Structure 1
Amino acid sequence: MRALMFGWEFPPHILGGLGTASYGLTKGMAKQNDMEILFVIPKPWGDEDQSFLTMIGANNTPVVWRDVPWETAKSRLEKCMDPQEYYHLRDHIYADFNYMHTNELGCIEFSGRYPNNILEETNNYSIVAGVIARTYSFDVIHAHDWLTYPAGLHAKSVTGKPLVIHVHATEFDRSRGKPNPVVYGIEKDGMDHCDHIICVSDLTRKTVIENYHQPHWKVTTVHNAVEPLSPEIEALERLSGVPEKVVTFLGRITMQKGPEFFVDAATQVLSKTDHIRFVMAGSGDMMDQMIRLVADRGIAGKFHFTGFLRGRQVYEMLKSSDVYVMPSVSEPFGISPLEAMQCGVPSIISYQSGCSEILHNVIKTNYWDVEAMADAIYSICTYPAMAEYLKVEGKKEIDTITWEDAGRKVREVYDRVVHS
Structure 2
Amino acid sequence: MKVLMFGWEYPPHVFGGLATANFGISQGLHAQGDVETVLCLPHPFGDEDRSACRIVAMNCVPIAWRDVNYDYVKERVGNIMDPDYYYRLRDHIYADFNYMHVNDLGCMEFAGGYPSNLHEEINNYSIIAGVVARTEEFDIIHAHDWLTYPAGINAKHVSGKPLCIHVHATDFDRSRGKVNPTVYAIEKDGMDNADCIMCVSELTRQTVIHQYHQDPRKCFTMHNAVYPLRQELQDIPRPDHTGKEKVVTFLGRITMQKGPEYFVEAANMVLQRTRNVRFCMAGSGDMMDAMIYLAAERGIADRFHFPGFMRGKQVYECLKDSDVYVMPSVSEPFGISPLEAMQCGTPTIISKQSGCAEILDNCIKVDYWDIHALADAIYSICSNESLFTYLKEEGKREVDQITWEKVGARIKNLYERVLAGDI
Please report the TM-score for the alignment, with normalisation by the length of structure 1.
0.98
Contact 1:5 1:143 in 2 (8 A): yes
Match of 2:386 in 1: 385
* 1:65, distance to aligned residue in structure 2 (A): 1.1
| TM superposition shift of 1:241 | 10
Cα distance in 2 between the residues matched to 1:315 and 1:301:
24
**2:276 equivalent in structure 1:** 275
Output the CA distance in 1 between the equivalents of 2:324 and 2:163. Answer: 41
**What displacement does 1:294 show?**
1.2
Compute the displacement of 1:104 (Å): 1.6
1:238 is displaced (CA, Å) by 4.0
Partner residue, 2:44: 44
Residue 199 (structure 1) aligns with: 199
Match status 1:154 vs 2:154: yes
Equivalent residue number for residue 23 of structure 1 = 23
> Deviation digits for residues 257-306 of structure 1, max 9, x if unmatched?
00000011111111111111001111111111111111111111110111
Matches within 5 A, 1:307-326: 307-326=308-327
Tell me how far apart the structure 2 counterparts of residues 88 and 44 of structure 1 sit (CA, whole Å): 19
Give the superposition deviation at 1:193.
Answer: 1.1
Alignment map for 1:332-411 (pairs within 5 Å): 332-411=333-412
* Of 285-294 and 225-234, the range deviating more from structure 2: 285-294
Q: For residues 237-267 of structure 1, what are the alpha-carbon distances to aligned partners after superposition, in whole Å with 9 as ceiling and x for unaligned?
A: 2479994111000111110000000011111
Hey, what's the Cα distance between the residues in 1 that align with 2:27 and 2:71? 33
3-state SS of the aligned residue for 1:4? strand
User: Distance between the aligned counterparts of 1:150 and 1:350, measured in 2?
Assistant: 32
Amino acid at match of 2:212: Y
Match status 1:131 vs 2:131 = yes
CA RMSD of superposed structures (Å) = 1.2
1:270/1:276 contact within 8 Å kept: yes
Provide closer, same or farther for how the CA distance between residues 205 and 137 of structure 1 changes in structure 2, counting only shifts above 3 A: same
The answer to whether structure 1 residue 292 and structure 2 residue 296 are counterparts is no
Match of 1:81 in 2: 81
Deviations 1:317-338 (A, max 9, x none): 0010000000000000000000
Q: Which secondary structure state, in structure 2, belongs to the residue aligned with residue 408 of structure 1?
A: helix
Displacement of 1:56 in angstroms is 0.4
1:15 deviates by: 1.0
> When the two structures are aligned, how many residues end up with a matched partner?
420
**Once the 2 structures are TM-superposed, how far is the Cα of residue 398 of structure 1 from its aligned partner?**
0.4
Paired residue secondary structure (1:289): helix
Indicate the residue corresponding to 2:97 in structure 1: 97
Q: Report whether the alignment pairs 1:237 with 2:237.
A: yes
**Structure 2 residue aligned with 1:106:** 106
SS at match of 2:165: strand
- Give distance in 2, aligned partners of 1:142 and 1:4: 6
Partner of residue 214, structure 2? 214
**Structure 1 Cα separation of the partners of residues 106 and 265 of structure 2:** 53
Asked if 2 retains the 8 angstrom alpha-carbon contact of 1:239 and 1:316, the reply is no
Bigger shift: 308-317 or 69-78?
69-78
Distance 2:144 2:405 in 1: 18
Aligned-partner Cα distance in 2 for 1:77–1:150: 25
1-structure distance, mates of 2:404, 2:352: 23
Q: Does 1:414 align with 2:415?
A: yes
Are residue 5 (structure 1) and residue 8 (structure 2) matched? no
- The alpha-carbon deviation at position 76 of structure 1 amounts to 1.3
Structure 2: distance between partners of 1:210 and 1:392: 39
Deviation sequence 1:115-156 (CA, Å, 0-9, x none): 111110100000000000001000000000000000000000
In 2: Cα distance, 1:240 partner to 1:378 partner: 18
Greater Cα shift, 235-244 or 344-353? 235-244
Question: Residue type matched to 1:224 in 2?
Answer: N
Partner SS state of residue 12, structure 1: coil
- Aligned sequence identity (%): 64
Equivalent residue number for residue 186 of structure 2: 186
C-alpha displacement at 1:16, in angstroms? 1.1
How many Å separate the matches in 1 of 2:123 and 2:285? 25
Q: Find the aligned partners of 1:240 and 1:99 in 2 and give their Cα distance.
A: 63
Query: Tell me, which stretches of 5 or more residues in structure 2 are unaligned?
Result: none
Q: Distance in 2 between matches of 1:295 and 1:116?
A: 32
After the TM superposition, which of the residue ranges 326-335 and 403-412 deviates more from structure 2? Answer: 403-412
Once structures 1 and 2 are overlaid, which stretch shifts more, 18-27 or 237-246?
A: 237-246
**Correspondence for 2:171:** 171
Moved more, 160-169 or 101-110: 101-110
Q: What letter corresponds to residue 79 of structure 1 in structure 2? A: N
Q: Where does residue 56 of structure 1 map in the other structure?
A: 56
Q: Deviations over 1:30-49 (max 9, x none)?
A: 01121000000100010000
Shift in Å, 1:409: 0.9
Long gaps (5+) in structure 1: none
Paired residues of 1:58 and 1:125 also in contact (CA < 8 A): yes
* Rounded Cα–Cα distance in structure 1 between residues aligned with 2:305 and 2:100: 46
Which has the higher mean CA deviation after the structures are superposed, 234-243 or 112-121? 234-243
Structure 2 distance, partners of 1:216, 1:113, is 32
Per the alignment, residue 141 of structure 1 pairs with: 141
The 3-state SS of whatever aligns with 1:198 is strand
**SS of alignment partner, residue 281 of structure 2:** strand
Q: Measure, in 2, the Cα distance between the counterparts of 1:106 and 1:234.
A: 46
